[in-house]
Chain A
């Protein structure tokens, strides 16, 4: 590059008159060495591919630094029991569960599950396990036994006995469906193998469940339903596998398009190979750096491949045109490189930096997505802007490709001629007015845009997925909700059952039950009241908390582990919600915060570590008024989602601003003209507004999955504008009229850009059929953005240019800078 670039009148490199830029000389004069080095790198990253692992750890999907999540992580290990379990419902399609055949089947399924690896056998609950009991108050005191008595023989009498016991057991709505047509086997899991310490593979567990339970026992008579976080993760990982097929499909479609476009086998294969090399580099280098692949970053290879192809096409296009002019392969490649490496690098750089703005979102998967995508795009700079032209300089484009390029340039001008009229001031107002109308409409329509997940059940999966259908069955037939917010009530050790704490919890629960969106609540208090009532002959008058600490202690002696931690310094309050819509979560969280204002004891942290006697002493010395307590948000799927929504809502604006600042700065540095930046950015902004309106229309919320789309859409979408504007400027400086300049632009670059838009759209459109809902959502939005950005660059950009650009001044500026040397490209 020349020193002139530092002269007082700045001018961008694209119009640089240097006939042989330094970079070009460096690369093309050492082709052999460059290829050797790149091959070695490919071998290295290819080796890295063997280290690629799919990671399903939940932590990456949640904002670990959010206050709620930090509160949750403090107690994560203590609350495990509630998270990692699977519920299997066995439904009979005729009659009820009280038949010999049903009971036998349930028993067989129970036995089958018992031996699946990862099952916490002692914690398993079903009608057949001895830990499910009925109790009754009689004149003599408590009576009770297992629901299925040891004398059970399948006779009518003993089935009737089971029915009675079930009614007395209080399991209706929990282990037995409200309509008595199904029963649940509740299976807690041991997450780490006690012998090997190895982490349980959800995928393997889920697969085994499907094989040993669903395929074996589901028939006309019985239906099996399976829910629970481990199963959901298993299904997600299973779904992620189909990504491979999508990739293949995208590749084949791209190849066909590419061939139709170039009519040159070499021009088809080389960009695909170069783009695949970029994918290998991206996956391999990240694996070598220690990154794992998750359900988001698994999508990055698509983007890398598609972006790679789209830039490759520009180069191939350039080479074909040069070859058509009679250049030999080396010259054609060098000229194409010279004309395209700057806009190409600029476009890729803006992609990469645009992706990096995702780092502002403090959620592991998004940050890793940002890194993976940025690295991938950086790789494309090497593979498709360097490697590809070098390869082409050896093999050259085929004669058929040259002919096709020449023919196309001559023939297909009808459509370009028509399109070019948008650069005419008489026609231009049409798209501009239309754009304004759409922007205004889109803006107001997208006011209804929601934060968070809006669908019922597991939002990661489709509403009609097996998992969500099973989940809907459970919710419909059992007294449970799948949307749970957990508030952790913290106290000093041994104090979680102090009267004051229990009473505060009791008030909290009732307070929350009065909040719209809350169905019910459960905690240690529920157990205490129930047991106190039972100890008093089942008399309802006694279902209250006792002030007598001894009675209070007795009442929670047999409380489930899930309701208090081992040293009784934390007791969760489980809040069941109607749904996990953002408004519901906001209302509930606001209510909890309000309650905290009154009831949280703001005392020195040290008191929370005081032992029982020390607290007693502090109270009697007047240092404390009573046992300190605080209500900590939040756990449960709804709690985590509430935190995620807050992070997303905060990051949404920041990220949008940053990504636009980045593309603004990059465009401005390159083109040194505000009007140029306006021509490129206004179509992008329109796409951003319309994509928000589309999200509103499709009921897609702003969430972990859709937030990156904004950055990706803008980052990649800017490419079109850059290529088109660059060419347009060259033509204008060459002295053509606006419409003529745009026509020339369309004939060369426009063709490549429209091809690029379609290629990119194909790459992401295959996601739309993914079984994983958020991948499908991303697919829809990105497809829309890629296509719409393309249209924006082809229609709105010239219309804006016709009003904003001042050709005379542009020519003059160029002359001042470069004299009579014609622009490159």
Chain B
């Protein structure tokens, strides 16, 4: 055979491969849904980002330059949006979700993490030298921190070399410029220029075991909460500059938080739901009767709705009390929920888009996708 031995370049890295055009994204895995004014925007598998202007009945596909699985999407206002996902990808849109550009990816993340780990190690080495002259206790502590920094660097080097990347799991913006993206193994990046540049902020988080960070929620002007693996609960009072660990009511994974004024609701593995009346200082478990892991939540002035595995949906009243559970037909897992301007809930997950009326009944509406501009 007289074939050139170099492989035909048909396959390219999913970070370089635009999402395929499809009319079935609304039936495929979608992992997050959010509001951009009256518009709904949802993101999921194969680099799909779809949007709807009629409350989720008909959808169109945004142009996305990558085909990796996207886990989260957030908008500030009607036009500016960001989507994050696997392979450390961060995308930005300035036209309400129609077109997206890549702002950041796992390779850049690996590089940034490696640099951060190196400078952190340098700091720790210095500190250890200083501490060696201090008390035994101080010295031990510094040596421990140094060891951790060494391990962190080793991991960062390994990831950098093998190209193994980590997924972002949530993104939150509180202005056109400022936002935070968090993800697996304690990965966290922040931007102050709308995503043009992203800086590693993992070292600012009190998360020495590099636990997965599952969600980030703003609960006030300057306050925000991160939930994560093994009951991790972090709180910032200064718009993400500094973070402090919070006492956690649970030692399993916390998947998210919804809040209304001072009321907060934490949802977690195996149907665990905790409620706080004092902005998360004390927690009380709520018996929902549901044993399915809850992955997404949304609050309204009239109450809250939580969704999760096995088609589980929990509706709560305005005091986040009296949980009522519904099982969606087909028992497919849901990942996120929001409310459309029209008043009904829009749930996304394994089976794509589902619409739920305010009473919790599945709406028998025809959901479809159309090509191009309507």
Contact = CB atoms under 8 A, between A and B. Distances in A.
Interface of A: 137-139, 167, 172, 500, 503-504, 506-507, 510-511, 513-514, 536-544, 546-549, 597-605, 607, 618, 622-626, 628-629
A351 B334 CA distance: 67
A138 B293 CA distance: 9
A98 to B, nearest CB: 17
A510 B7 contact: no
B24 A626 contact: no
Contacts of A626: 7, 11
Interface residues of B, number: 52
21 contacts: A503-B14, A510-B20, A514-B20, A540-B335, A541-B167, A541-B169, A541-B214, A541-B295, A541-B335, A544-B86, A547-B162, A548-B162, A549-B164, A599-B10, A600-B8, A602-B8, A603-B3, A604-B1, A604-B5, A618-B5, A622-B6
B45 A602 contact: no
Given A541-B169, A547-B87, A600 B333 contact: no
Given A503-B11, A539-B293, A603-B8, A139 B68 contact: no
B7 A139 contact: no
A604 B167 contact: no
Interface in B134-161: none
B251 A139 contact: yes
Contacts of B253: 537, 539
B210 to A, nearest CB: 15
A783 B17 CA distance: 59
Per CB-CB distance, the 9 closest pairs between chain A and chain B, nearest first, are A544-B69, A625-B7, A548-B164, A598-B10, A139-B252, A540-B335, A599-B10, A541-B71, A601-B7
Contacts of A510: 20, 22, 28, 45-46
Interface in B273-310: 293, 295, 309-310
Nearest to B291: A136
Contacts of B270: 137-139
A605 B10 contact: no
Contact of B7 (A536, A541, A628): A628
Given A539-B293, A540-B31, A603-B7, 6 more contacts: A506-B46, A540-B334, A547-B106, A601-B8, A604-B1, A605-B1
A379 B333 CA distance: 69
Contacts of B252: 139, 537
If over half of B's interface residues share one DSSP class (helix, strand or loop), that class is named, otherwise mixed; here it is loop
B9 interface: yes
Contacts, number: 120
Nearest to A537: B253
A541 to B, nearest CB: 5
A511 B29 CA distance: 14
Contacts of A536: 212
B92 interface: no
A7 to B, nearest CB: 60
A514 B22 contact: yes
Contacts of A513: 24, 28
Interface in B309-361: 309-310, 331, 333-335, 349-350
B24 A624 contact: no
A137 B269 contact: yes
Given A537-B269, A539-B293, A507 B67 contact: yes
B164 A623 contact: no
Interface in B83-101: 86-87
A547 B29 contact: no
A540 B29 contact: yes
Nearest to A170: B331
The winner among B69, B251, B255, B349 for most chain A CB atoms within 10 A is: B69
A544 B85 CA distance: 10
B345 to A, nearest CB: 17
A629 B9 CA distance: 11
B370 interface: no
A1 to B, nearest CB: 58
A549 B20 CA distance: 25
Contact of B333 (A540, A599, A604): A540
B167 A601 contact: no
Given A538-B309, A547-B164, A139 B350 contact: no
A628 B10 CA distance: 11
A138 B3 CA distance: 53
Contacts of A618: 5
A492 to B, nearest CB: 12
Given A503-B14, A514-B24, A540-B295, A602 B3 contact: yes
A261 B31 CA distance: 81
Nearest to B269: A537
B165 interface: yes
B87 A504 contact: no
Nearest to B2: A604
A623 B6 contact: yes
B20 A543 contact: no
A270 to B, nearest CB: 66
Interface string B51-69: 0000000000000000111
A628 B22 CA distance: 27
Given A540-B31, A540-B335, A544-B86, A601 B10 contact: yes
Contacts of B163: 547
A546 B87 CA distance: 9
A602 B4 CA distance: 8
B364 to A, nearest CB: 18
A624 B5 contact: yes
Contacts of A540: 29, 31, 295, 309, 333-335, 349-350
A396 B67 CA distance: 88
B23 interface: yes
A507 B20 contact: yes
A419 B64 CA distance: 77
Contacts of A139: 251-252, 269-270
A318 to B, nearest CB: 66
Contacts of B4: 603
Contacts of B10: 597-601
Given A510-B46, A605-B1, A625 B68 contact: no
B165 to A, nearest CB: 5
Contacts of A541: 31, 71, 167, 169, 214, 295, 335
